[in-house]
Structure 1
Amino acid sequence: MMNHTLKSQCKVSPGTVIAGKWHLNKYTIIKELGFGANGVVYLAKHNHTHVALKMSDNGMSITSEVNVLKSFAKVQGPLTLGPSLLDVDDWQSNRGRISFYVMEYIQGPDFLTFLQQKGKSWTSVLFLQLLNDLDKLHESGWVFGDLKPENLIVTGPPSRMRCIDVGGTTIQGRAIKEFTEFYDRGYWGLGSRKAEPSYDLFAVAMIMINTAYPNRFSKTTGGISQLREAVRQKPELAAWEKVIFKSLQGHYRSAKEMRTDLLSLMIDKKIPDPPKRAQEANVDNQKKKPSLHPQGSQPITRQNYRKGRKKSGWKEFFFIAVVLGLFYAWYTFNKLL
């Protein structure tokens, strides 16, 4: 929690104009978005565009977070894991000089809220994308650290996971700077707080568990035994059990390995069906095309005809339903990833 002095130092009212001392850009404060150990984040407006502005009297903290955002920009392309950095400056207020930086305002529900609104069928797709982005982050030499649902925002369409609050992001090999106990392997007695890929992957597994326990749960015995029991008490976690346990015990060397295992489970049909929209499209397509004709069907159906497989009755209907389901699952995953 931020100390009271820092909170007071950085407290500004809506309508306040923050004028940069060096770059001379002006930002009008709209409202506070949140605060933590190292600063306060505000929603602000600049040239009719909404931005997120973080201020702190700790210049070293600002510099560290700015370096993280610059690193994100170098390795992750136009759709970054974290917000884009827009400006870095100082503001000379009547309470002294305050350092601040301005970043892209990422708007959308947090991860768990998104699942409540859209359904848990989106979960695996978003985890695949998150693991892909984490792999790029780890390859660049960083660990996110304080990975939790509150720091994961789902934007779109198309729906995509973005991370906010990079204050806990740490150079690999150092001690984790910030963490939240439920997602911290040190808290559960399952590893150190050294910044390495497996630290983030443990947190991903705990977020998976969190989807079945929205209010989380407290540590009693701790260790893998308590977490294993928690997983096995929730049928919806059964499909991910293999991936969760390997991650909790630090058996993955990279996010890519964890992503490969998760994708394999999805291909093997151990993961729930794709998002509802794809299911509805499948049903509609079957209503419109109760029988298949080579000239009006999808490519995979034409292949079926070319092979000359003549099915009859319920066997043909079953085969068609399976093929269409696979086609729309493939289409949905490629559209979202």
Structure 2
Amino acid sequence: MGIIELQTYQQIKGKWKGTQYEVVKKLGEGGLGKVYLVKRIKTNQYFALKITKDNISINREYNLINKFKNIEMVINALEIDDLEIENEIYYYICLEYIDGMNLQEYVKRRFLSVDAILGLVLVIVEGLNKIHSLGYVLGDLKLENIMLDKRFKQLRIIDLGGVAKKGEFINEYTPGYDRSKWNCGNRVASESYDLFIVTMIIIRLIIREEFNPRLQNINDIIKKMNSIDISKELKEFLIAGLKEEQQSNFFAKGLRKIYNREKLSKRNNMIEKLDARINVIFLCSVSLLITTTIFILLKL
């Protein structure tokens, strides 16, 4: 049986803890459940309520969120409880509500320069480093699962459904980011699995195109990447991210180095353009001065 569709203004109550919520709207849904924006009736605070029939999955995610509670990038969980509606039992976790948009929506609305893309991804990699240091891999990292918090101007990971311990098999993944689908490695949880995804995200953002492993192969992506105007150093870094085993600390170090060079190059280009404008203004001023001087001399 599927997950029930909750209605706007519908009131629900936790079976064991008794917390009452009012449904505001549906935020999204996936294979295992639905997420609603709700208002806690007692405090008028807004939260994201994730509802499912899968008790094991929801408890696992709740435990992982608590395990990562010191990682600022990971969303907070407030409570877990059962929910009985129409004689059916559902399970939910009440999550911090992030007011903003996910990165998929964000990049559709605006153009990002290469240095802005690398800066954005660096923040994601720093969060991944902390997860990796605890012995876990995010697994199903994608733009839709990363929120840009409008209030605090931060990136937040909102879905931990694909998290796996290092060495375990990854069960939840997105084909377009899965290295196994691209014949670039296995689906065993490792730092390099996450870093392959990060590399694909960078390429996708730079090229502004989605990729499908059923229609393309990894060489098609490399060929397309080689045809665009980015630095040789960045191209080599991205190809290594697709084809080589990587560790997150070294990956982050290399990415930061390229990011700093891209920013410096951009700044130098801006200075050159400014100098060129100043020269044009100077030449126009000189030309005007000469013309005016000649005019005055002819009048004498």
TM-score band w.r.t. shorter chain: 0.7 to 0.9
Q: Are residues 14 and 222 of structure 1, via their aligned partners in 2, closer, same or farther at CA, if it must alter by over 3 Å?
A: same
1:14-72 CA distances to partner (integer Å, 9 max, x unpaired)? Answer: 11112111111111111111111211111111122211001111110111111111111
Match of 1:170 among 164, 172, 175: 164
Q: Which residue of 1 aligns with 2:102?
A: 110
Match of 1:265 among 227, 242, 258: 258
Matches within 5 A, 1:55-70: 55-70=51-66
| Inter-partner Cα distance in structure 1 for 2:231 and 2:181 | 22
1:152-211 CA distances to partner (integer Å, 9 max, x unpaired)? Answer: 212246632211221111222111121111100001000111111111100000101111
Cα shift at 1:215 = 4.0
Structure 1, unpaired ranges of 5+: 284-337
Matches within 5 A, 1:287-326: none
| Inter-partner Cα distance in structure 2 for 1:15 and 1:171 | 39
Matches within 5 A, 1:113-262: 113-117=105-109, 119-121=111-113, 122-156=116-150, 159-219=153-213, 220=215, 222-223=217-218, 225-236=219-230, 240-253=234-247, 255-262=248-255
Cα shift at 1:83 = 1.0
SS at match of 2:171: coil
Alpha-carbon contact 1:181-1:187 (below 8 Å) kept: yes
| Inter-partner Cα distance in structure 2 for 1:242 and 1:127 | 17
SS at match of 1:63: helix
1:294-333 CA distances to partner (integer Å, 9 max, x unpaired)? Answer: xxxxxxxxxxxxxxxxxxxxxxxxxxxxxxxxxxxxxxxx
Moved more, 114-123 or 82-91: 114-123
SS at match of 2:250: helix
| Inter-partner Cα distance in structure 1 for 2:263 and 2:14 | 54
Match of 1:23 among 17, 23, 41: 17
Alpha-carbon contact 1:115-1:123 (below 8 Å) kept: no
Superposed CA RMSD in Å reads: 2.5
Cα shift at 1:237 = 7.4
| Inter-partner Cα distance in structure 2 for 1:153 and 1:236 | 27
TM-score (norm 1): 0.72
SS at match of 2:161: helix
Alpha-carbon contact 1:174-1:194 (below 8 Å) kept: yes
Q: Are residues 272 and 134 of structure 1, via their aligned partners in 2, closer, same or farther at CA, if it must alter by over 3 Å?
A: farther
| Inter-partner Cα distance in structure 2 for 1:85 and 1:273 | 41
Match of 1:52 among 38, 42, 48: 48
Alpha-carbon contact 2:126-2:252 (below 8 Å) kept: yes
Q: Are residues 222 and 96 of structure 1, via their aligned partners in 2, closer, same or farther at CA, if it must alter by over 3 Å?
A: same
Alpha-carbon contact 1:144-1:200 (below 8 Å) kept: yes
Q: Are residues 155 and 221 of structure 1, via their aligned partners in 2, closer, same or farther at CA, if it must alter by over 3 Å?
A: closer
* Greater gyration radius: 2
Aligned residue-pair number: 266
Structure 2, unpaired ranges of 5+: 275-300
